[in-house]
Chain A
């Protein structure tokens, strides 16, 4: 039996605890508390392709052009452009009232420096740089891009929606090489939010305030295009590494919005009437299995095809979506399903996959000599680790000599850059995923392009593929580009530079007190407001 004194003690303890203020629980009407997907540690969206830096980039900087939700290109900082009759000169004019966060006006020279820097690092930018003869400042608000040959996709390139996004920075900042990241003190934005460097604490918090001198476009927002009206005076990013804690913080109202909800926690949050589970990025994330093309056995296309035929996309996708079919789609394509080029070839080369019998036949035909296969797999990356384990089990079933090397992501990203043979620290397969929007057209699609040693890890080399890509870049019409894209897709399934593992969706979660959240390629801060 509980004694009177014990009871009084318990009550007193409870009362004392109740008296403690709950500092993080109440959010003011003009403060948005957001949990980003990762810690923001890099402030330069051109040096890195990290998605969290790209997302912060959208807060801080603006772009000359932008894509809407239908993947159409619109002027953003640009008021518009004119193209010469020979298609070799574009004159871009800036709209009125563009200002950097230090108060200086955005000038043509700033745009040119920013484009140059971006084009020295980004694949689409490199394509553009290859055809640019010169940039000429016409006035503070206008500049000309002179081309060696027509480049109809110039505006599309400058509207690139995912890393690296061609954000416009001041000339003196953009003057430094892309390999040298801009520092926290050099973050001078052109976008709707100002980054508060003094309040930044790595691993904990990044703070943005509304940039009151930003002039939004008059149109309604659609993804990164249109009017970027920010309805909060202050947006705080609270880094919460533990998903369970992030879910608890969202439920208790300590935060307003959690960017990427762990699939396992969706049922828990969906059951809470105060929380809304949003669609998130509609282009999702594309899982892929990447081969090292430099060494046996994956220098042999028959073995690569055998692996492709053995892949059960459903198994991969279930493993990373908490076994929820609503959160993935089968994707027999190198482009995300639902985008312009995301249409499986006809006939579909993966239609019968997994077909282990056909795969074994190909391995026999390839005269596989028992060469060792090393899969490098990160154990600290829950949305990648299962991919490696499933591939390992599958290759075992095919009778291949395979070793699963489990390590951390930091080691994987170092080792995959190694071009050494397997017995000297090299590798055969790694897995990753891409934001679907990062692969939305051939020019930005490293899992398909075949630049060889100059290209993405795995170093797939294909001159026919690159010739098709060159044709795509200069094709005069969308119909022509569509036809070339389909040919590239077909060639991809013939050469198998990468095996697509499916397209999955990571949902976003926010308090029901928020409205206007845009389900886009990034968690845009505009249009969101408190109801």
Chain B
């Protein structure tokens, strides 16, 4: 398995190279000029040109790409054309909020969705099943920002239980940290609860119809044992696949949530960088996201073999 992991990790290098070239080319060809944004509304064309030259944005594609690649190879993601800060620092500052939001969201999603899916499958065709599926449809249908506003209104403004915006780092205390994450995680988690509950239910229904489940019941295994020991483990692979995809999708989902709750994470960093055409920041963030995506896929593949020993890597 170790050689498999090493091979997969090595395979990320050309992937990242292709991503780097693609992103750089795309940004080069895309309209927009950070120099014009920096100069502001009152600038003249001449002033913009001077700023562009001072930033090196007037250089040809090959020179700019070569310079950037050289920096990357040396572990340097460059500096923001606006703030002048190192991109790596800007990313590092934002990993904690985004990672915390993602972890808590997935925790909420898995904790709620799997039992809900199992119960829905167990009570298949009853009002409980239908109620869970109605909730799932709602979770899919209501946009994240609507859920976010609703939660902020109820828990932030009406009952004054939780802050409506901001982020407190873990270093400043666990409860303040958790307090700022609860509402965003619930808002972002709704769709994943819905998604995973439906997948769990579908996978469980298929497994519950298998002969070995009937055998387990015939041997006198209790309902809990059947559901959570025999059935759930065999239904886990589709759930793991979707959960893995969910982690990747969360990267996009955090953009809206971070904006609504004013969380200084990678999502808001990306949006701001795109709107301002802060090329080094966009490139750095996309590289990070691509690497995360590859890593999540690797973890999902490894988990397959854990849940199903028949799968050999």
Contact = CB atoms under 8 A, between A and B. Distances in A.
Interface in B32-79: 32-33, 36-48, 50-51, 53-54
A411 B30 CA distance: 9
B80 interface: yes
Interface in A209-243: 238-242
Interface stretch (A247-255, A314-322, A354-362): A247-255
A19 B176 CA distance: 11
A21 B176 contact: yes
Given A20-B182, A181-B84, 9 more contacts: A22-B163, A49-B42, A163-B40, A183-B84, A241-B268, A249-B262, A380-B275, A446-B42, A454-B44
Given A41-B82, A181-B84, A417-B45, A410 B165 contact: no
Q: Nearest 10 A-B pairs (CB), nearest first?
A: A49-B40, A204-B264, A23-B176, A179-B50, A414-B33, A41-B82, A410-B32, A183-B84, A413-B36, A20-B179
A163 B80 contact: no
A123 B46 CA distance: 13
Query: Which secondary structure dominates where chain B touches chain A?
Result: helix
Given A20-B179, A202-B90, A245 B261 contact: yes
B32 A163 contact: no
A392 interface: no
B261 A180 contact: no
Contacts of B90: 202
20 contacts: A22-B162, A25-B163, A42-B82, A180-B54, A202-B85, A202-B90, A202-B272, A204-B262, A204-B268, A241-B259, A245-B261, A249-B164, A254-B163, A254-B165, A380-B275, A410-B33, A410-B37, A417-B48, A432-B41, A454-B44
B165 A181 contact: no
A20 B45 contact: no
Contact of A241 (B47, B82, B149, B262): B262
A419 interface: yes
Given A17-B161, A21-B179, A203 B32 contact: no
A240 B172 CA distance: 21
A184 interface: yes
B157 A248 contact: yes
Contacts of B206: none
Contacts of A205: 264
A123 B32 CA distance: 25
Contacts of B269: 202-203
Contact of A238 (B84, B93, B149, B166): B166
A408 to B, nearest CB: 7
B33 A203 contact: no
A245 B262 contact: yes
B153 interface: yes
Given A201-B93, A242-B259, A411 B31 contact: yes
Nearest to A444: B42
Contact of A413 (B33, B84, B165, B166): B33
Nearest to A241: B259
A47 B38 contact: yes
A48 interface: yes
Contacts of A370: none
Nearest to A411: B31
Contact of A407 (B31, B43, B153, B173): B31
Given A203-B264, A239-B262, A249 B165 contact: yes
Contacts of B85: 184, 202
Q: Chain A interface residue count: which class?
A: 35 or more
B275 A410 contact: yes
A382 interface: no
Q: Chain B interface residue count: which class?
A: 35 or more
Contacts of A368: none
B277 interface: yes
A246 B261 CA distance: 9
Interface string A337-369: 000000000000000000000000000000000
A245 B260 contact: yes
B160 interface: yes
B83 A202 contact: yes
A332 B152 CA distance: 43
B259 to A, nearest CB: 5
A409 B156 CA distance: 33
Contacts of A409: 275
A502 to B, nearest CB: 18
Contact of B180 (A24, A49, A121, A438): A24
Contact of B157 (A24, A202, A251): A251
Nearest to A33: B166
Interface in A280-321: none
A516 interface: no
A415 interface: yes
A203 B163 contact: no
Contacts of A241: 259, 262, 268
B175 interface: yes
B281 to A, nearest CB: 9
A39 interface: yes
B32 A414 contact: yes
A23 B272 contact: no
Nearest to B179: A20
A471 interface: no
Given A179-B47, A184-B84, A202-B269, A22 B160 contact: yes
A30 to B, nearest CB: 19
A28 interface: no
Nearest to A272: B157
Contact of B156 (A49, A238, A252): A252
Contact of B38 (A181, A200, A201, A407): A181
A24 B33 contact: no
A9 to B, nearest CB: 14
Contacts of B39: 47-49
Given A202-B80, A254-B165, A20 B175 contact: yes
B163 A438 contact: no
Given A20-B178, A203-B268, A414-B33, A455 B262 contact: no
A455 B269 CA distance: 34
A435 B277 CA distance: 24
B172 A203 contact: no
A201 B155 CA distance: 27
A50 interface: yes
B149 to A, nearest CB: 6
A434 interface: yes
A14 B172 CA distance: 24
Most buried by A among B51, B165, B261, B264: B165
B149 A244 contact: yes
B161 A254 contact: no
Contacts of A242: 259-260, 262
Interface in A436-478: 438, 446, 453-457
Contacts of B262: 204, 238-242, 245, 249
Given A41-B83, A49-B41, A410-B275, A23 B165 contact: no
Given A252-B160, A254-B166, A50 B40 contact: yes
B54 A456 contact: no
A18 interface: yes
